[in-house]
Amino acid sequence: MNVNQHTPMASPYGQPQPGYSQPGYVPLDGGYPGPYAPYNGPASPYQPGAPPQGISGPARGPPTTGPLPVSAPHQYNQYSHSQGDMQNGPPPMTQAQPRPPVSQPYNPGAMNMSGPHPTYPQHYGPPPTMQQVSNQMSGMQITSGPPTPAGPGYAPPHSSQPPVSTAYSAPPPPSYTQAPPPVSSAPTQPPPPSGPAASQQYYGSPPPPSQQPFNSSLPPTSQQQFTSSSVPPPPSQQTLPPSSYSGPAPPPGQAPAPPVSQPQQSFPPSQPPPTSQPAFTPGPPPTAPGSFTPQAPPPSSQSGSFPPPGPPPTSAPSCQYPGPLPPQQQPPPSQPFPYHSGPPPPRAQMPPTSMAQSNHLPPGPQGPPGPPGPLQQPPSQPGMQTGYPPQQNGAFGQVRGPQPGYAGPYPGQPNYGAPAPAPAPAPPAQKRLDPDAIPSPQASDMPAVQKSRHRIDPDAIPSPIQVIEDDKAKSTEPFTTGVRGQAPPLVTTNFQVKDQGNASPRFVRCTAYNMPCTADMAKQSQVPLAAVVKPLAMLPPDETPPYLVDHGEGGPIRCNRCKAYMCPYMQFIEGGRRFQCGFCSCVTEVPPHYFQHLDHTGKRVDCYDRPELSLGSYEFLATVDYCKNNKLPQPPAFIFLIDVSYNAVKSGMVNIVCQELKTLLDYLPRENPEMDSAVRVGFVTYNKVLHFYNVKSSLAQPQMLVVSDVSDMFVPLLDGFLVNVNESRLVIESLLDQIPEMFADTRETETVFGPVIQAGLEALKAADCAGKLFVFHTSLPIAEAPGKLKNREDKKLIGTDKEKSLFQPQVGFYNTLAKECVAQGCCVDLFLFPNQYVDVATLGVVPVSTGGSVYKYTYFQAQLDQERFLNDLRRDVQKLVGFDAVMRVRTSTGIRATDFFGSFFMSNTTDVELAGLDCDKAITVEFKHDDKLSEETGALMQCAVLYTSCSGQRRLRIHNMAVNCCSQLADLYRNCETDTIINFFSKYAFRGVLNNPTKAVRDTLVNQCAQILACYRKNCASPSSAGQLILPECMKLLPVYLNCVLKSDVLLPGADVSLDDRAYLRQLISCMDVTETHVFFYPRLLPLMKLESGSLPVAVRDSEERLSKGGVYLLETGLHLFLWVGASVQQELLLNIFGTPSFGQIDSSMTSLPVLDNPFSQRLREIIDSFRAQRSRYMKLMVVKQEDRAELIFRHFLVEDKSASGGASYVDFLCHMHKEIRQLLS
Amino acid sequence: MATFPEYIAQNEERDGVRFSWNVWPSSRLEATRMVVPVAALFTPLRERTDLPPIQYEPVLCSRATCRAVLNPLCQVDYRAKLWACNFCYQRNQFPPSYAGISEVNQPAELLPQFSTIEYVVQRGPQMPLVFLYVVDTCMEDEDLQALKESLQMSLSLLPPTALVGLITFGRMVQVHELGCEGISKSYVFRGTKDLNAKQLQEMLGLTKPAAAQGRGPQAAPQPLSNRFLQPVQKIDMNLTDLLGELQRDPWPVTQGKRPLRSLGVAMSIAVGLLECTFPNTGARIMTFIGGPATQGPGMVVGDELKTPIRSWHDIEKDNAKFMKKATKHYESLAIRASTNGHIIDIYACALDQTGLLEMKCCSNHTGGYMVMADSFNTSLFKQTFQRVFTKDVQGSFKMAFAATLEVKTSREIKVSGAIGPCVSLSAKGPCVSENEIGTGGTCQWKICGLDPATTLALYFEVVNQHNAPIPQGGRGAIQFVTQYQHSSGQRRIRVTTTARNWADAQTQIQSIAASFDQEAAAILMARLAVYRAETEEGPDVLRWLDRQLIRLFMFHLRRSPFLQVFNNSPDESSYYRHQFNRQDLTQALIMIQPVLYAYSFNGPPEPVLLDSSSILPDRILLMDTFFQILIYHGETVAQWRKAGYQDMAEYENFRHLLQAPVDDAQELLHTRFPMPRYIDTEHGGSQARFLLSKVNPSQTHNNMYAWGQESGAPILTDDVSLQVFMDHLKKLAVSSAA
């Protein structure tokens, strides 16, 4: 059965279809997997299938889905595929050429069927060419059949097949092979109806139609099968794999197989037929980039070629291929490698599949071998790698196979040598580490060759993943904030918070929860004392937002001297008539209306009734005394300023913004969901001049008011500019409809920028309110106007002392403007759509100083980037935001807030002024001693933010935080939070580059880090040999994280990083909270080989070594989202994720995964969605295929590896750090 | 030969010319002694229904410095086909097209009855008429509504090809783009910042490269229109809607403040817009203002209501702090507009002053209209405005555009200057006198806008030396060549050639004296006086005037608002002077000495003396001061009317009596431009003051008993009466004669 079940093959097709997805596409793919796996016989069926797919796919695909021609085709392919199979049999031979015609006929059919989709032709055009070509190219030899898919081919199926591939003829009793297809089609048909919702996007209605025609065209026999097949689907759905099998059951042979091995496995069996290989090989070539082709053609030769590549672990291409190829090339059974090793040659393919399943167990790439595989494999692997055998555990060999290709620096072997299997081996490694000491290089294990360079086992050094996982395991209870000095769980851990008197870590995180009592200690340890405050952070639904407290007309009760607000740290004395301030110890009378008796413990009786006496975070209602000009504020306004110059229009931005605003305006922030938002809106467009719009509700049509005098900006109208959305809805919609039209044929390329912000500012001034400007801008403002800029991008300056000037604004104009904006409470959010240098460093000045955000969509293309932009925009418009805010941090005597980092403006040394403060903005506050602290009282801080809510209410949000104080350094090191320290360091460094050479900044960081660690070593660690690196438990990740900071684009730019990108990142990070900086600097890399609902797979370390080329990985940085697909990934995975069986057919330009009705796809999409929901910015999904050019970008985020721009690998850096520490110690 | 009055009338009828002297003294010395200079009131476009347009171009004297037009006074040698220029005596060949000329076959320009002749120039493109509305939006809704309606109405009066544009202003200035679909578009400018033409051009996107922007393709092929000025036929509906949607300036005006009105910048932008789009093309900027400019260049008063707008008193005390600057601003606008041949009309409707004093030059220099009324919601404004668009029998507007007037004189006489709605073109020539009177130093003037009534006063100087013989031919000739753009878009040239005899003052003083045209002289002197009053300090002018020959008219002139500022605001003075300076002789006479008709049962209506003695209880008086038409019911008549006798059948005659002056008044109202203020009052009525202030105060509270009770009404004034004036004058005449 396993071996040659053509029938099974067929059946799988059928089965999967019903089972996985209604659309039935999947099943088709399922069939393919076999073929896909280059290794086995299945190839034959596969090939035919593939080509047809390509051909027919494009034709049909285009029609259905405009945006994603690529994806569409695939799915179609499936359909066609099934057909193709059918047809292939028949026409294949004759019709290699006919394809084009074939495709056409399809279209018509599809067209008619799909009626609704008029767009077909358009899409059709472009994609077909691509795919067809490739398909043809690839498939020509093999798959003349596919073209045939056209109806005509049906009859002759058998005849055609033989020519295509011998394997085919032999294995498939024609009836079988055909049967499956029909089956598949049958199932597929059902799906269309049900599936439409999900699948429609891609398939749209077309699929069903297409199938029908097929059916009709199908031979009568097939139809019968259909009926039978159709029955199975239901069962299959329930239990995917098994059921599917059962479904296919019809083919008797299959039944047995399934039980033995999971469906995927079953597939492989079919493939095994060696005979098929020839056909097969061609298959892979097509998928593989050009480089592959050579290998593919001569399967026989490959064997020969293979060996050579094999030896050098470094050569990636060869390795990878070899992987797949070997199986095909039966020649050396031993070589087959780990994959094959386990199972018989035929299974060579299997392994990958099995790996997918098994992967879950082993986190790392190593996983692939999977439990079953690995066991068997070990032996075989050694053989495979020939050169490296000794060190490596066979099990992991495979993994490394790919690695060698990646990075020369790390020969795969050394790594392997280590306990490769991430899961299992890891634990032991940790044990070693726990003692805080990293065993110095484990040279001993390494093979001589490799030892030369690396002496440290990457798995032996502290693993972020391990730390994260440990913390997760540890934090099962809700975190209560009442205990002073207790460090909260890591940001990567999900936990619930109970506010018991200190602010939730979601609002405030500290670098140290045990502050040194004296300045000397602090200086000695060099541990930064800082807090990252995110005043308006959103809380999860199960935590209550801060209560609103109203102290009446007198305003909040405050300490007379230091003006700290009433909080749990206030000590009531004299029977409650007075209270002593916890910050300055001053005694203040309690106002009569606030008086309350004390209980026997000295607490107020109403302590727990009053949030301000019992909680860490709460809000006060501010009185008129807290308002500008002693006047209660007006509700804020949002002004949308849209660039309508040539570039903006051409990129589609204008159109998208206008369309989106029509709906978005209904979601303006409001406090009471029942009420309409009080926020008023206004619209401006601009190029070289500004166009204001009067959208007063009484107008039949909006009026455009052009202001060309940009040198002296003013607002041309008062009434009708800022309006209530509901009242002026019709006029606004009319306006938004007309804006794209009006400027559709503009030829104006110059833009202004300064006057645009001025205009918004003036409008807010005129309306006497605070507000937010949303500026959608495309290009460097070179038009004659205030704030005009010139292109100053000069890469030659990088690395010189003048580099810092590139981060500084080009002109002083924007600083002045920013100041004015802050004074008015005018927050600016900037959306950039540059095609070239726009000088983010300068344009970003105002947003950054006003608490706004900069969003950048370089080379914006409506189709690809629309989703990201719109999601960002939606979120940005809807998110909770406060205006005209002032933040003040008060501390208990002994320490003082001395420095602040973030997006804000400061006109003095204590008040942080934010024109706008949204729920994503964090401010990092650094503290310094100005006196001694006592262990008894600890250190208190109170962060008060005065702001205007989106409904126009003036409020104060108070966050209180108390930490312990210590006189022993060890206590300090025991209660640190590395993530927060990194947050501080990054902000500190990124601000430093404004004034210092980048290199100096990096050196400073390294030094400080070394000092911190050296201090620990010297004062806290138990004596040990100097050669040992000893890290404090809380900071054992400091080196790896710090290395990530040092390697960031800002501090160590690669050649391909533009100045704008660096400036953008620099500004962006300045207002990130700890969660964001953490994932930004150390991206989350999830293996996706096996997904379970309810929990995420355990992440793997950001290193190429951890990637298995048989796997699929999701990497998330908070800004980017990559889906990395290994070159030899299992077909089943591909089918589940992409709906295509072939690696080569994955469209790497897709920005969202196809909606497939299988649990894997669903779960994966769920995961992606949940990731996106966690981040303040929408992450565009990039599909990166191994060996693809885009992999360079992806690799940039594998931060444990050496970076292309010269950044050290984790291991190297750790060595370096060790050296520094030793120097300090000696 | 006819009598002089007939001769004068005939000349006026035919040529639109009236000279102060119809026989000229032959030497400079004698001419100077005559006090009243040789001068003429010339109405370039006097309506001549019998004047056929000549479809060819005039024949010019070939002498470069002369270029006089062939006229009936030229000597023609039909055989040699030569003609001698009667100004420079150059002999000229007739052009080939005149080959068939002979004594019996003369071209029109040689016929004596065609001393005034009009040529139509066929060359050049037909220029469209351009009307640019500049509309104030700082006014009460009622007023604005009325104004909007008037403007909408006016669209229907414009020829379909005429280009219109719209600029509105309040705190900001908006230049409206016309003909846009959907969204109405306008360019907004700050009201506090003046822009030069180039800046404006850039900001409006009217520069060449920017033409490509937006609706580029349309702009390029149609140089005659642009986004802001479009043919009426095309954007009629659009503009009507636009006007309909016009809202009162939305910027809040706090109590105690005037609205911020950016009139100065609005006008500047209007001028600039036309300057860069239609230079040297007839265009009319029609400015409608509801109050004074209160910000930016050209502001005449601050926005604080507590500081009133300047009065004559302030001006004398040098207390009008904005006046000089504003005047300068508007003067520069006037110069720019007139240079390009554009007219600026000002329609000021407000109860308070609006700054006409400062803006007067805009109208005065460009031949534009100045209309002053209390509100846009009055028939005075509405009808006056409507009358701007009156048409002649041919159906073309009675207005003409971008005219230049050139004066050519015989050698013995030179032109000293002109007074009227014109600006100098600074064309030097042999016939320019060194002695300037009015706008002098040139023989060419630009009159951007003129209508059939527009009359210029031209002053000449006899330069013949005392001992020189009377010039040959015995006649001095003057040729007026007026080139203008007809409202049909054609370019036309009207040539008027006139001649007067020379006389030796020593020997023929009688005939010279007999040729004196008292009315013309009065107006000419009055214009001169007004001109000097405008340009010099008040008292000096009166003194100068007093020293000049004075006649009856002068008494009234002295009391008239043209010279007397008492009781008149600076704006009113400017307005009156403006009208006086452009109206023809008849109207000007009325302005100086109002006409008073009496209606009674005693006989048909009769003109009566403009004297307090004419005010009798049983009379109805109809006074026409040009600016006002006033019907005054005597005490008795008023009582009758109150008693309702006119409604009783048996007193139908009384009803007729009441009706008669009303009918006459209507007639006057219908013909006059601008429409006068119509006042119907009675004895003791508050509005009767208009009458009482005009009549000669022969009876005052000082002397009312000297003349007897029965006749007339006493006037409460300290002004001297005509009698006293005359007495004094006689005394002066005797004493100063020596």
Q: What pLDDT shows up at residue B529?
A: 86
* B735 domain-assigned: no
- Please report how many Cα atoms fall inside a 13 Å half-sphere around the Cα of residue B200, on the Cβ side: 24
How far from A13 is each of A173, A1086, B189, CA to CA, in Å? 15, 29, 71
For residue A123, give every residue at least 6 positions away whose Cβ sits within 8 Å of its Cβ, in sequence order, or none: A61, A62, A63, A64, A65, A66, A69, A72
* Tokens linked to B84: 């001698």
Q: What pLDDT shows up at residue A857?
A: 94
Query: Are residues B250 and A734, on separate chains, in Cβ contact within 8 Å?
Result: no
Separation of alpha carbons A484 and A303, rounded Å: 67
Chain B: closest CA distance from residue A762 (Å): 13
Chain A, nearest residue to B185 by Cα:
A704
Q: Using 50, 70 and 90 to split pLDDT, how confident is the model at A293?
A: very low
Task: Identify the bridge partners of residue B606 per DSSP, sorted by sequence position.
Answer: B598
Chain A, nearest residue to B212 by Cα:
A747
Q: Are strands A514-516 and A954-966 parallel, antiparallel or unpaired?
A: parallel
For residue B144, what are the domain limits? 130-388
Separation of alpha carbons A352 and A395, rounded Å: 13
Q: What pLDDT shows up at residue A658?
A: 94
* Residue ranges of B 226-255 with Cβ closer than 8 A to chain A: 245, 250-252
B365-400 residue pLDDT tens: 999 999 999 999 998 999 999 999 988 888 888 889
Which positions in chain A touch B170 (Cβ < 8 Å)? none
* Residue ranges of A 675-694 with Cβ closer than 8 A to chain B: 689, 691-693
* B733 domain-assigned: no
- Asked whether A979 and A1077 are in contact (CB, 8 A), the reply is yes
Give the mean pLDDT of A549-559.
Answer: 91
Query: What does the mean pLDDT of chain A come to?
Result: 71
Q: Does B189 touch chain A (CB under 8 A)?
A: yes
Q: Which of B184, B195, B250 is facing A718, going by the closest CB pair?
A: B250
Chain B, nearest residue to A731 by Cα:
B183
Helix (H, G, I), strand (E, B) or coil at B167: strand
Q: Does A734 touch chain B (CB under 8 A)?
A: yes
Query: Are residues B183 and A742, on separate chains, in Cβ contact within 8 Å?
Result: yes
Give me the DSSP letters along A612-654: HHH-SEEEEE--GGGSGGGSPPPPPEEEEEEE-SHHHHHTTHH
Q: Does B178 touch chain A (CB under 8 A)?
A: no
Burial of B539 (0-12, 13-18, 19+ CB in 10 A): exposed
Residues in chain A: 1226
pLDDT at residue A280 above 70?
no
Q: Considering chain B, what percentage of its residues have pLDDT values greater than 70? A: 92
**Whether residue B32 is found in the same domain as residue B171:** no
For residue A632, give every residue at least 6 positions away whose Cβ sits within 8 Å of its Cβ, in sequence order, or none: A624, A952, A954
Q: What is the DSSP letter of B647?
A: G
Task: Identify the bridge partners of residue B484 per DSSP, sorted by sequence position.
Answer: B492
* B738 domain-assigned: no
pLDDT at residue A952 above 60?
yes
* Tokens linked to A981: 């320290």
Q: Are strands B130-136 and B163-169 parallel, antiparallel or unpaired?
A: parallel
Query: Are residues B185 and A706, on separate chains, in Cβ contact within 8 Å?
Result: yes
Query: What does the mean pLDDT of chain B come to?
Result: 86
Query: Are residues B204 and A718, on separate chains, in Cβ contact within 8 Å?
Result: no
Higher pLDDT, B544 or B342: B342
Query: Are residues B245 and A709, on separate chains, in Cβ contact within 8 Å?
Result: no
pLDDT at residue B20 above 80?
yes
Q: What is the DSSP letter of B42?
A: E
CATH number at residue B538: 1.20.120.730
Last residue within a domain, chosen from B528, B562, B587: B587
Last residue within a domain, chosen from B540, B559, B587: B587
Chain B: closest CA distance from residue A748 (Å): 7
Q: Using 50, 70 and 90 to split pLDDT, how confident is the model at A315?
A: very low
Mean pLDDT lowest for which of A192-206, A496-510, A660-674, B114-128?
A192-206
Query: Are residues A704 and B183, on separate chains, in Cβ contact within 8 Å?
Result: yes
* B734 domain-assigned: no
Which positions in chain B touch A706 (Cβ < 8 Å)? 177, 185-188
Higher pLDDT, B284 or A399: B284
**Whether residue B164 is found in the same domain as residue B231:** yes
Give me the DSSP letters along B219-286: HTT-TT--SSSEEHHHHHHHHHHHHHH-----S---TTBPPP--HHHHHHHHHHHHHHHSTTS-EEEE
Q: What pLDDT shows up at residue A1133?
A: 87
Q: Which of B177, B193, B204 is facing A712, going by the closest CB pair?
A: B193
Q: Using 50, 70 and 90 to split pLDDT, how confident is the model at A302?
A: very low
Q: What pLDDT shows up at residue A339?
A: 40
Strands (E), A351-480: 437-438, 479-480
Give the mean pLDDT of A99-115.
Answer: 39
Chain B: closest CA distance from residue A679 (Å): 21
Which positions in chain B touch A683 (Cβ < 8 Å)? none
Chain A, nearest residue to B202 by Cα:
A708
**Whether residue B429 is found in the same domain as residue B554:** no
Orientation angle between helical segments B570-582 and B585-592, nearest 10 degrees: 150
Buried b (16+ CB within 10 A) or exposed e, A733-750: bbbbbbbbebbeebebeb
Q: Using 50, 70 and 90 to split pLDDT, how confident is the model at B544?
A: confident
Chain B, nearest residue to A707 by Cα:
B188
**Whether residue B548 is found in the same domain as residue B511:** no
Give me the DSSP letters along A958-1020: EEEEEEEEESSHHHHHHTB-HHHHHHHHHHHHHHHTTTS-HHHHHHHHHHHHHHHHHHHHHHT
B700-735 residue pLDDT tens: 766 655 444 445 566 777 777 777 777 777 777 676
Query: Are residues A716 and B188, on separate chains, in Cβ contact within 8 Å?
Result: yes
Chain A: closest CA distance from residue B12 (Å): 53
Last residue within a domain, chosen from B587, B611, B627: B587
Q: What is the DSSP letter of A802?
A: G
Sign of CA dihedral B25, B29, B33, B36: positive
Q: Does B172 touch chain A (CB under 8 A)?
A: yes
Chain A, nearest residue to B184 by Cα:
A703
Higher pLDDT, B691 or A205: B691
Chain A, nearest residue to B244 by Cα:
A699
**Whether residue B355 is found in the same domain as residue B434:** no
Q: What pLDDT shows up at residue A171?
A: 40
pLDDT at residue A936 above 60?
yes
Mean pLDDT lowest for which of A932-941, A1038-1047, B263-272, B608-617?
B608-617
B628-643 residue pLDDT tens: 899 999 888 999 999 9
Separation of alpha carbons A879 and A675, rounded Å: 16
Q: Which of A700, A707, A742 is facing B188, going by the closest CB pair?
A: A707
Q: What pLDDT shows up at residue A719?
A: 83
**Whether residue B217 is found in the same domain as residue B344:** yes
pLDDT at residue B321 above 60?
yes
Separation of alpha carbons A900 and A941, rounded Å: 14
Report ipTM for this prediction: 0.85
A521-539 residue pLDDT tens: 999 999 999 999 999 999 9
Q: Which of A693, A709, A746 is facing B203, going by the closest CB pair?
A: A709
pLDDT at residue A203 above 80?
no
- Asked whether B425 and B418 are in contact (CB, 8 A), the reply is no
How far from B66 is each of A35, B38, B495, CA to CA, in Å? 105, 22, 14
pLDDT at residue A385 above 60?
no
Q: What pLDDT shows up at residue B532?
A: 85
CATH number at residue B329: 3.40.50.410
A244-278 residue pLDDT tens: 333 333 444 343 333 333 434 334 344 434 333 33
Give the mean pLDDT of A665-683.
Answer: 87
Q: What pLDDT shows up at residue A156?
A: 40
Chain B, nearest residue to A742 by Cα:
B214
Burial of B653 (0-12, 13-18, 19+ CB in 10 A): exposed
Orientation angle between helical segments A729-742 and A653-664, nearest 10 degrees: 170
pTM for this structure?
Answer: 0.73
Separation of alpha carbons A943 and A889, rounded Å: 4
Q: Using 50, 70 and 90 to split pLDDT, how confident is the model at B522?
A: confident
* B191 domain-assigned: yes
pLDDT at residue A848 above 60?
yes
- Asked whether A692 and B188 are in contact (CB, 8 A), the reply is yes
* Residue ranges of B 359-418 with Cβ closer than 8 A to chain A: none
* Edge-to-edge strand ranges of the sheet holding B439-440: B17-19, B39-42, B456-462, B413-419, B439-440
How far from A907 is each of A287, A816, A942, A1152, CA to CA, in Å? 60, 12, 20, 45
Give the mean pLDDT of A125-152.
Answer: 39
**Whether residue B504 is found in the same domain as residue B369:** no
Q: Using 50, 70 and 90 to split pLDDT, how confident is the model at A797?
A: confident
**Whether residue B483 is found in the same domain as residue B621:** no
Q: What pLDDT shows up at residue B553?
A: 57
**Whether residue B340 is found in the same domain as residue B243:** yes
**Whether residue B202 is found in the same domain as residue B283:** yes
For residue B311, give every residue at least 6 positions away whose Cβ sits within 8 Å of its Cβ, in sequence order, or none: B569, B570
Q: What pLDDT shows up at residue B549?
A: 52
Task: Identify the bridge partners of residue B459 per DSSP, sorted by sequence position.
Answer: B39, B417
B636-669 residue pLDDT tens: 899 999 998 888 888 888 998 999 999 999 998 8
**Whether residue B202 is found in the same domain as residue B234:** yes
- Asked whether A358 and A370 are in contact (CB, 8 A), the reply is yes
Q: Does B472 touch chain A (CB under 8 A)?
A: no
pLDDT at residue A150 above 90?
no
CATH number at residue B679: 3.40.20.10
Q: What pLDDT shows up at residue B368?
A: 92
* Tokens linked to B257: 């403040």
Q: What pLDDT shows up at residue A249?
A: 38
Helix (H, G, I), strand (E, B) or coil at A763: helix
A995-1025 residue pLDDT tens: 999 999 999 999 999 999 999 988 888 887 7
Phi first, then psi: what are they for A780, rounded to 5°? Answer: -60, 125
pLDDT at residue A777 above 80?
yes
pLDDT at residue A31 above 80?
no
Which positions in chain A touch B174 (Cβ < 8 Å)? 705, 716
* B732 domain-assigned: no
* B656 domain-assigned: yes
Give the mean pLDDT of B575-596.
Answer: 89
Separation of alpha carbons B654 and A20, rounded Å: 110
* Tokens linked to A166: 């011998």
Whether the ω angle into residue B674 lies within 30 degrees of 0, i.e. cis, is yes
Phi first, then psi: what are they for A1010, rounded to 5°? Answer: -60, -40
Q: What is the DSSP letter of B310?
A: P
Q: What pLDDT shows up at residue A346?
A: 39
Which positions in chain A touch B183 (Cβ < 8 Å)? 693, 701-704, 734-735, 738, 742
CATH number at residue B23: 2.60.40.1670
Separation of alpha carbons A327 and A38, rounded Å: 8
Q: Does B216 touch chain A (CB under 8 A)?
A: yes
Task: Identify the bridge partners of residue A484 per DSSP, sorted by sequence position.
Answer: none
Chain A: closest CA distance from residue B284 (Å): 25
* B709 domain-assigned: yes
Q: Using 50, 70 and 90 to split pLDDT, how confident is the model at A450?
A: very low
Helix (H, G, I), strand (E, B) or coil at A604: strand
Specify the number of domains making up chain B.
4
Mean pLDDT lowest for which of A447-461, A485-499, A749-763?
A447-461
pLDDT at residue A681 above 90?
yes
**Whether residue B279 is found in the same domain as residue B408:** no
Query: How many interface pairs between A and B have CB atoms less than 8 angstroms apart?
Result: 73
Which positions in chain A touch B220 (Cβ < 8 Å)? none
Higher pLDDT, B518 or A84: B518
pLDDT at residue A217 above 50?
no
Chain B, nearest residue to A710 by Cα:
B203
